[in-house]
Each structure stands twice: as structure tokens, then as C-alpha cells.
Amino acid sequence: MKKYLALGDSFTEGVGDVDSNRPNQVRGWADRVAEVLSAQGDWEYANLAVRGKKIGQVINQQLDQGLSMKPDLVSIYAGGNDILRPRADLDALMRSYEGMVRRFTEAGSTVVLFTGFDTVESPLFSKTRPRTAIYNEKIREIADKYGAVIADYWRWREFSDLRYWSVDRLHMNELGHALMAARVLDVLGRHQVTDENWADKLQAPVLPDHAVTSRSEKLKQELGWATEHLVPWVRRRLSGTSSGDSLSARYPQYVQLAAATK
């Protein structure tokens, strides 16, 4: 039985892809990938990712446990929450990140790494773009050094479509996670990490038509978003708290996931 382990923050936990029947009430791209792998009968899946975690927390709270689980395949994404902080020493952080990748590759795991999303079209997060570009170059260097596989989020421009994003504008929605799962499966197949290319088993989702809204409706939406999502997010940044402080890993032990019916 082969083992797939997912590490990281809200991106890998699955925030934005709501499913009340699953741990932490989310599904996410990693679950969707695991469902396809599990359907082949020879893969198990664990997910230690928790929303709000920074690189140091992923290393301190997920690395040792993850190594003890001896995964054949491990996906790692962390850094978005560091990049959003007022100050971040990316050189030091990425040296630690490299150490995490090195330990998994030395243990015999195939590692999948993600570049960060290009925020060029985001009014709120576009100023973080230079940091993300530096982060991405570090990721590429680490991948080259250790033979890791890259899921190149930065270059997947289709994710710039707002219809793939949750109402909080920070996380992908159900459609975004479905598309990400298809892209990851394609990467795994093309790099022969899996026995075949299974991307065709998760077709890209069909997007709804663009909503036509008036200027007054857009203003109302902006005010609602700021009240419901922006203000609490800023408050957490100022207080040093996280939305994941009270949460545990969704799948701390290996399971085989059946495909969801929805």
C-alpha cells in the first residue's frame, strides 16, 4: 500500500471547499487527489495541514510526525502566511524549508512543492507580489537540488478568475479546489509519480456565468466583505492569533477516502 501525506496550511487543509461531513468541515484539493488515488485501491492518505500555520509552525508541528509516517509521496505548501506578515526573513525561512524537503527526500519520499499564487490582479494582496516571486525562485532552487516535483501555481493563470475563489478572497472555493486537484494529478502523471496520468478522472469544473451587478450592488458587496472577512483577518494579525489555533489535523492517520457524491 502506497502512502500520500499532505502538509501545510489552509491551502492544503481545504479551506473554502465546504463539506460539513468531513473533519473541520472542509474537503479541498488534497482530499480530491486522495479520492482518485484511493479509488485505484493501493493508496492511503493523511493530511496534517492546519489553517493559519506559518513555515516555522509547519516544521515544528508537522515535520517529525510526517517523517514517522514514512510517506511514499508528500506534498508541502507553506509560506503564504509568512509572506502576508509585515516582516518576513525569506532567506532564513527558506533555508528551514529546504531542510524539511531534504529530510523527506533522504527518507525516500517523493516531494511535491508549490509555487505561490500571482497576486498581480488582487487590489488587497498585490503588494506581496515581490515577496512571492522571491519565494518562488527559492522553491525552484530547492526542487532542482532535491529532485522535487513542482506544482506551478504561479503560472496557472486560470486561477486569476474570481469564480474560482471563496467569498473571503483569500482561499479557493469548491471550483478552485477541484481545478487544483486536476492540475496536481496531471503533474503527478507527467512526472511518473503515479502509475498513470489520472488528470482525466477529474475534469476541470464548469464555471458559472459572470454575475452582472450594478455599482450600488458592488459597493454593498465590498462593505459586506470588509465587515465579515477583512476586519476579522486584520484583528487576528494584530492580536497574533490564528483561525486554526483551536483546530487539529484533519487526517492524522492514514485513511482511504471514497469519492464524494457531490
Q: What is the pTM for the complete model shown?
A: 0.87
Residue 82: inside a domain:
yes
Check whether 203 has a pLDDT greater than 90.
Answer: no
Check whether 180 has a pLDDT greater than 80.
Answer: yes
For residue 126, the model assigns a pLDDT of 81
Residue 56: inside a domain:
yes
Q: Report the candidate in 183, 171, 151, 166 with the shortest Cα–Cα distance to residue 244.
A: 171
Domain that holds residue 186: 2-255
Residue 260: inside a domain:
no
Residue 133: inside a domain:
yes
Q: How far apart are CA 115 and CA 150, in angstroms?
A: 7
Check whether 226 has a pLDDT greater than 80.
Answer: no
Select the more confidently predicted residue: 235 or 121: 121
Residue 261: inside a domain:
no
For residue 259, the model assigns a pLDDT of 75
Residue 171: inside a domain:
yes
For residue 209, the model assigns a pLDDT of 72
CATH of the domain at 67: 3.40.50.1110
Q: How far apart are CA 197 and CA 193, in angstroms?
A: 9
